[in-house]
């Protein structure tokens, strides 16, 4: 997969995405991430990319033409039709199901907004999907773009050591993750559950499933309501 990020602050995105698991995956060729300076396609000597909003109001708006030229340049270079995203507080809220959908694309372009946003016409022209990371507003789209890139990238083959690394995590199957423990077996009077020390893999699996169900029911009842409980799930919950 290739992910192109169009932003006024490419170094900000690059500095985060060159580190840790995503950085190693990039160096090994499991994915390609390119951060593009929007001002490259700005107007005039000063490479202007923003202007006042029609109808009045405070703040500046990113103009359509520099954004469009950025998109066109990426498509011309890659030869692939991308799925284009705009990080926006009014967009569909990102969740794990959406991450799975996005990971199936061959190419993504992520536009980072700034100031008061972007000219709506460029979003319409390129059929851009708006994506939010939550019901709050940030100073720019760079951090949300990095979050989306990280979430999508780790779903790709080869990025994590095994698929089980993400398949058993919170939200992957609609549940929150069960508690995890490491050494020592007792810490400040708190002991690791005996079942995890038993070596009985089936009992461990059942315990983890039961804990995921209980934690989701307690912490995120909105998610729990959507869970299709199996007969085994009901039996596990009855043992509480």
Q: What is the per-residue pLDDT across 173-182, written as a single tens digit (0 to 9) for each?
A: 789 999 999 9
Q: How far apart are CA 48 and CA 66, in angstroms?
A: 9
Quote the pTM value.
0.87
Class of domain 2-153: alpha beta
Q: What is the per-residue pLDDT across 158-173, written as a single tens digit (0 to 9) for each?
A: 998 665 444 555 556 7
Q: What is the per-residue pLDDT across 85-116, written as a single tens digit (0 to 9) for each?
A: 999 999 999 999 999 999 999 999 999 999 88
| pLDDT of 83 higher than 60 | yes
| pLDDT of 28 higher than 80 | yes
Do 26 and 18 touch, CB atoms closer than 8 A?
A: yes
* 3-class secondary-structure state, position 117: coil
pLDDT class of 239 with cuts at 50, 70, 90: confident
The pLDDT of residue 162 is 63
* Percent helix, percent strand, percent coil in the chain, to nearest 5: 40, 20, 40
User: What b/e string do you get for 109-148 counting C-beta neighbours within 10 Å, with b at 16 or more?
Assistant: bbbbbbbebbbeebbeebebbebbbeeeeeebbbbbbbbb
Structure tokens at 6: 């169009």
Phi first, then psi: give them for residue 213, nearest 5 degrees.
-65, -45
For residues 209-233, give the mean pLDDT: 95
The pLDDT of residue 171 is 55
In percent, the amount of the chain with pLDDT more than 70 equals 95
Q: Looking at domain 168-238, does it have CATH number 1.10.1270.20?
A: yes
Q: Where are the domains of the chain?
A: 2-153, 168-238
| pLDDT of 34 higher than 60 | yes
């Amino acid at each position: 997969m290739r992910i192109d990020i169009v932003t006024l602050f490419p170094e900000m995105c690059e500095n985060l995405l060159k580190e840790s698991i995503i950085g190693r995956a990039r160096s090994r060729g499991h994915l390609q991430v390119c951060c593009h300076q929007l001002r490259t396609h700005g107007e005039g000597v000063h490479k202007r990319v923003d202007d006042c909003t029609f109808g009045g109001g405070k703040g500046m708006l990113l103009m359509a033409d520099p954004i469009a030229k950025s998109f066109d340049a990426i498509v011309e270079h890659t030869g692939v039709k991308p799925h284009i995203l705009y990080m926006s507080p009014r967009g569909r809220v990102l969740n794990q199901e959406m991450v799975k959908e996005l990971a199936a694309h061959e190419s993504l372009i992520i536009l980072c907004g700034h100031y008061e946003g972007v000219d709506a016409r460029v979003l319409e022209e390129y059929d851009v999907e708006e994506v939010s990371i939550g019901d709050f507003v940030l100073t720019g789209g760079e951090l949300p773009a990095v979050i989306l890139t990280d979430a999508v990238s780790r779903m790709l083959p080869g990025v994590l050591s095994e698929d089980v690394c993400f398949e058993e995590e919170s939200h992957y199957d609609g549940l929150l993750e069960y508690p995890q423990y490491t050494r020592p077996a007792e810490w400040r009077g708190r002991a690791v559950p005996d079942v995890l020390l038993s070596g009985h893999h089936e009992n461990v699996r059942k315990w983890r499933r039961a804990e995921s169900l209980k934690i989701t029911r307690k912490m995120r009842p909105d998610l729990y309501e959507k869970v299709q409980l199996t007969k085994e799930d009901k039996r596990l919950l009855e043992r509480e």
